[in-house]
Amino acid sequence: MVRYKKSEEKRKQILYAAFQALTESGYDSVTLQTIADHAEVSKGVVHYYFENKEAVLVELLAWLTGKISAKEQTAVQEQHTATGKLAAYIDSAFAGPAQNRSFYRVYLDFLARASRIPVYREINQRFYDSCAAISTEVLNLGQEEGIFSRELTPDKTSPVIRAIIDGCLIQWLMTDDDDDDLHATFKESCYTAIIKVLSV
């Protein structure tokens, strides 16, 4: 039991190191050795847990998107109105300038390869299925409360909600500006844009 716990901690240490390496160097420059260097372990230790670089990165994408999904779902479940749930969802997605900058640099690297690497596409689809479930919950509750248009359907509206969130965060990232106020401005604009879509 103790050995299993230690091995899981070491595995997470390697995944976090891979995330740091990707943030700093990008997908193409990362090797098992750079991951080992960030984890402060030998390359052999990384090999003990993962067959190759691809295996590390596949698990990293699943780990990252799984953590974000869980965080967003928890935030939404703590609210009891449609607007409260929507605000919590957006607040969770806009985690903070440093967090968003690191995540989206890595995430965009994965997305650039998703069309050619099926396992990345599958992991990303699970993430977007989770996003769609949150958006559907928000939409359905808002319709029950009479504040969102009853003409909207979850299958068409849910992807748009996440597209606005990701679009705002990517545009913010592309400004290459360390101004925290700009991050807050994009978050506010994101909320306003989604409310407009839902209230048509």
The answer to whether 61 touches 136, Cβ cutoff 8 Å, is no
CA–CA dist 1, 23 (Å, integer): 33
Q: Running DSSP on this structure, what letter comes out for residue 31? A: -
Q: Running DSSP on this structure, what letter comes out for residue 28? A: G
Give long-range contacts, CB 8 A cutoff, 24+ apart: 154-160.
157/197, 157/198, 158/131, 158/132, 159/128, 159/132, 159/135, 160/197
Planar angle of CA 50, 51, 57, nearest 5 degrees: 60
Structure tokens at 67: 């953590």
Four-CA torsion 128, 110, 68, 92, nearest 10 degrees: -90
Name residue 163's amino acid: A
Structure tokens at 137: 């919950």
Half-sphere exposure of 68 (CA within 13 A, CB side): 25
Name residue 161's amino acid: I
The answer to whether 87 touches 79, Cβ cutoff 8 Å, is yes
Instruction: Walk along the chain (200 residues) and give the pLDDT tens digit of each residue.
Output: 344 445 888 999 999 999 999 999 999 999 999 999 999 999 999 999 999 999 999 999 999 999 999 999 999 999 999 999 999 999 999 999 999 999 999 999 999 998 899 999 999 999 999 999 999 999 999 999 999 999 999 999 999 999 999 999 999 999 866 777 899 999 999 999 999 999 96
Structure tokens at 17: 């190191």
The answer to whether the pTM exceeds 0.75 is: yes
